[in-house]
Amino acid sequence: MEPHLADMRGHYRGRAAMVCYPQSTAEVATVVAICADAGVPIVPQGGNTGLCGGATPFDEDAILLNLRRMNRIRAIDPLNDAITVEAGCILAEIQRAADDADRLFPLSLGSEGSCQIGGNLSTNAGGNAVLRYGMARDLVLGLEVVLPDGRVLDDLSALRKDNTGYNLRHLFMGAEGTLGIITAATLKLFSKPRSLETAFVAVRDPHAAIRLLARAKAGSGDTVVAFELIGRAPLDMVLRHIPGAHDPLRGRHDWYVLMELAGGDLGSALRDRLEDVLASAAEDGDVADAAFADSVQQRQAMWKLRESITEAQRSEGGSIKHDVSVPVSVVADFIAEATAACVAALPGLRVVPFGHAGDGNIHFNLSQPADLPKQGPERDAFMARWQEFNDIVHGIVARHGGSISAEHGIGLLKRDELTRYKSPVALEVMRTLKQALDPRGIMNPGKVI
Ligand code: 2HG
Ligand code: ZN
């Protein structure tokens, strides 16, 4: 049971009575019906790559229900641009199945080699292509869900239009298994872009980055797929700890953007547009330098720099994390204000800002001062200031009308924080829904609300 009881970040170590690996929707429904009768708590789990403790069980009577054996692709339907998959399918396998049919499934995130689609949907995962394709919930046409009493809600449909009352599927995405267990989904497919351009760009500061985003959108016919901001500190950490990582640019800069454009046409038009955008931004002083990916390998190397930040930051000792969003227009102001406030609270603190700036989503992470030992009481004392820094950062986020969880969800980590920032009426409606669907409170108890 060991690998199922610890979360990926090593924050939580849970307990459970047993692990079940059901193989079909009927088996999930049977387990849930038995648990409902007996009042036994159930914690659903996919690839266990979540970042908020949502898939960790904390009750020695709980049943951990892992979906990994439900991993069939049930149907692929290119004419309807749809694919129907079971919850335990690994995200990368769905991407591959779509690609084999000359279609694109665009959900893309660091853990795609091990996360499962059921978890992606339950947590409404974000990732690197939200700017163009939306969050996980935006990619779903239909869902199959086992409800907390064991009934199966079969809403697996590839219809693009079905305007028949309450949209039930959206209730289960972002619910993190508190309202039922997603067992299968019909997902949207897209045309594969025929040309792709990736650039690693040094920008003057976050304000320049946000101006570049607007310029790139307007100057490229809205072909921007990804727009990732990377501070100097996270890049340095990657260069220090990740084997084979190297800086694509020669000089040293304070801020970078990894940007990607994707277009429907073949040919060089997209590169020309990207070069024009960067050249005019350079004339205005917003862009200092840029490297283009001229091969698949170079593109992968650029993305590896971005995707390795979490791992590299782990090697630097304790880290206090904030997955926040603000309107895109105030991303730069937010970073400046939050940096000043955090450094004032702890001189020597290392601010490690990066993230999906094109969505207004910044991972405003804080690494312990460099001179502290990476293990032991000093590290623990730093980590004990988690709430204090949350108060500082989330307070600034709230003032800017932002969110305290942009893409990682709530789980256990942010459950109490949620009650402080979500409106009382919204929380009441959430509790009403929970009570209506799961009156005995057996589905992933203690998470989200
Ligand atoms: C990413 O964008 C992930 O790399 C993880 O959402 C962010 O480590 C983090 O805080
Ligand atoms: Zn992220």
127-130 long-range CB contacts below 8 Å, 24 or more apart? 127/356, 127/407, 128/226, 128/228, 128/306, 128/356, 129/225, 129/226, 130/356, 130/358, 130/359, 130/361, 130/407
Q: What is the mean pLDDT of residues 396-405?
A: 98
pLDDT at 90 over 80: yes
* pLDDT value, residue 166: 95
Over pLDDT 70: what percentage of the chain?
100
Place of tokens 């170079």: 298
Shortest-distance Cα residue to atom 8 of ligand 1: 310
Q: What is the mean pLDDT of residues 5-15?
A: 92
For the ranges 71-75, 174-178, 219-223, 247-251, which has the lowest average pLDDT? Answer: 219-223
Question: Do 195-310 and 316-408 show the same overall fold?
Answer: yes
* pLDDT value, residue 268: 78
Give the ligand at the shortest distance from the Cα of 309: 1
Nearest to 136 by CA among 109, 154, 158, 160: 109
Shortest-distance Cα residue to atom 9 of ligand 1: 310
Predicted confidence band at 107 (pLDDT cuts at 50, 70, 90)? very high
- As for ligand 1, residues whose beta carbon falls within 6 Å of it are 110, 309-310, 321, 355, 363, 365
For the ranges 15-29, 61-75, 252-266, which has the lowest average pLDDT? Answer: 252-266
pLDDT at 446 over 90: yes
Read off the pLDDT of residues 325-382 as tens digits, 9 standing for 90 and up.
999 999 999 999 999 999 999 999 999 999 999 999 999 999 999 999 999 999 999 9
Phi first, then psi, for residue 159 (nearest 5°) are -65, 140
Measured in Å, residue 100 CA sits from the centre of ligand 2 at: 27
Shortest-distance Cα residue to atom 2 of ligand 1: 355
Point out the ligand 1 atom lying closest to the alpha carbon of residue 355: 2
The architecture in CATH of the region 316-408 reads: 2-Layer Sandwich (3.30)
Measured in Å, residue 357 CA sits from the centre of ligand 2 at: 10
Q: What is the mean pLDDT of residues 240-245?
A: 98
8 A C-beta contact, residue 291 and residue 199? yes
* pLDDT value, residue 97: 98
Return the CATH number of 195-310, one of 3.30.70.2190, 3.30.70.360, 2.60.120.10, 3.20.20.80.
3.30.70.2190
Residue 231 parent element (H or E): strand 224-231
Point out the ligand 1 atom lying closest to the alpha carbon of residue 365: 10
* pLDDT value, residue 264: 81
Measured in Å, residue 34 CA sits from the centre of ligand 1 at: 37
Fold of 2-66: 3.30.43
- Kindly list the distances between the CA atom of residue 423 and the CA atoms of 273, 419, 428, 430, in Å, as whole numbers in the listed order: 44, 8, 9, 11
Q: What is the mean pLDDT of residues 238-256?
A: 97
Shortest-distance Cα residue to atom 5 of ligand 1: 310
Point out the ligand 1 atom lying closest to the alpha carbon of residue 354: 2
* pLDDT value, residue 352: 98
pLDDT at 9 over 90: no
* pLDDT value, residue 351: 98
Shortest-distance Cα residue to atom 10 of ligand 1: 363
Point out the ligand 1 atom lying closest to the alpha carbon of residue 363: 10
Q: Where are the alpha helices (DSSP H) in 46-108?
A: 91-100
Going from N- to C-terminal start, the domains of the chain cover: 2-66, 73-191, 195-310, 316-408
Class of the CATH domain delimited by 73-191? alpha beta
Distance CA 315, CA 293 (A): 28
Candidate from 109, 128, 309, 365 with most ligand 1 atoms within 8 A of CB, to mutate: 309
8 A C-beta contact, residue 398 and residue 334? no
Predicted confidence band at 265 (pLDDT cuts at 50, 70, 90)? confident
* pLDDT value, residue 347: 96
Predicted confidence band at 267 (pLDDT cuts at 50, 70, 90)? confident
Candidate from 112, 310, 393, 408 with most ligand 1 atoms within 8 A of CB, to mutate: 310
pTM strictly above 0.85: yes
pLDDT at 89 over 90: yes
Point out the ligand 1 atom lying closest to the alpha carbon of residue 323: 10
Q: What is the mean pLDDT of residues 66-80?
A: 97
pLDDT at 53 over 80: yes
Distance CA 72, CA 184 (A): 9
Read off the pLDDT of residues 121-131 as tens digits, 9 standing for 90 and up.
999 999 999 99
Q: What is the mean pLDDT of residues 126-139?
A: 97
* pLDDT value, residue 282: 98
Point out the ligand 1 atom lying closest to the alpha carbon of residue 321: 10
Candidate from 131, 303, 323, 403 with most ligand 1 atoms within 8 A of CB, to mutate: 323
